[in-house]
Amino acid sequence: MLTNRIMGAFTFRKGVYAEAARDTQFTTDAWLIVLVVNFVATLGSSAGSLRGERGFIAFLVTVILGTLLSIAGFALSAFLVSWVGRSMFKATASFEELARAMGLANVWRVIGFLGILSAISPALVCLLSPVTLLAGLAGLVAYFFSIREATGMDWVGVIVSVVVALIVQLIVTAVLGGILAIFGLSAAMLLR
């Protein structure tokens, strides 16, 4: 069943996201997809740091923090899209329904694992960049389709919900980034 849904997501099978959104038994699977795919994608995107002077510990910390932040960002995104859809467009999809549908759409991020080849040679990254770009675009399309199928909104509602959610997410990220930067600068001054 899980394999069929994942293949349906990769092949853009009509109704796969609506089916996932309705299936309450799929909640754990959806969150596991988000966890595993974001972990694997973060492994790939952080692999280049293995070639640097920071070494394996920095790579490990980056992978763990990157995965946790990706999962938190996913949860925030599902919450915001659900909230905006219900508030502005009378959508009925709950956070859980959107998390299931959007979690399934998240399978496209697994292509980010190809970034691990940057640990071998930066030239391989250049060769695989078009594949990664196309997978990212396919993932974006899947993201929009998953929201549309889970909420039943028209395309205008989906796009507005995503844009509003993105703006709120950027504001939250900027505020948290500023706070972390202040802590980082303070720590750097203390270590001088």
The H or E element that residue 126 is part of is helix 122-151
pLDDT, one tens digit per residue, over 1-53 is 788 888 888 888 999 999 999 999 999 999 999 999 999 888 877 776 666 66
**Spatial separation of the C-alpha atoms in residues 41 and 82, rounded to whole Å:** 25
Mean pLDDT of 172-183: 80
pLDDT, one tens digit per residue, over 73-97 is 899 999 999 999 999 898 888 999 9
**Spatial separation of the C-alpha atoms in residues 139 and 2, rounded to whole Å:** 18
Q: CA angle at residue 167 from 29 to 182, to 5 degrees?
A: 95
Which band of pLDDT confidence, cut at 50, 70 and 90, is reported for residue 141? Answer: very high
Mean pLDDT of 132-158: 91
**Spatial separation of the C-alpha atoms in residues 44 and 10, rounded to whole Å:** 20
* CB 122, CB 152: distance < 8 Å: no
pTM of the entire predicted model: 0.81
Is pLDDT above 90 for 122?
no
Q: Alpha carbon of 144 to those of 152, 177, 178: distances in Å?
A: 12, 27, 30
Which band of pLDDT confidence, cut at 50, 70 and 90, is reported for residue 119? Answer: low
Q: Which residue has better confidence, 52 or 131?
A: 131
Is pLDDT above 70 for 118?
no
Where do the structural domains in the chain lie, given as residue ranges?
2-190
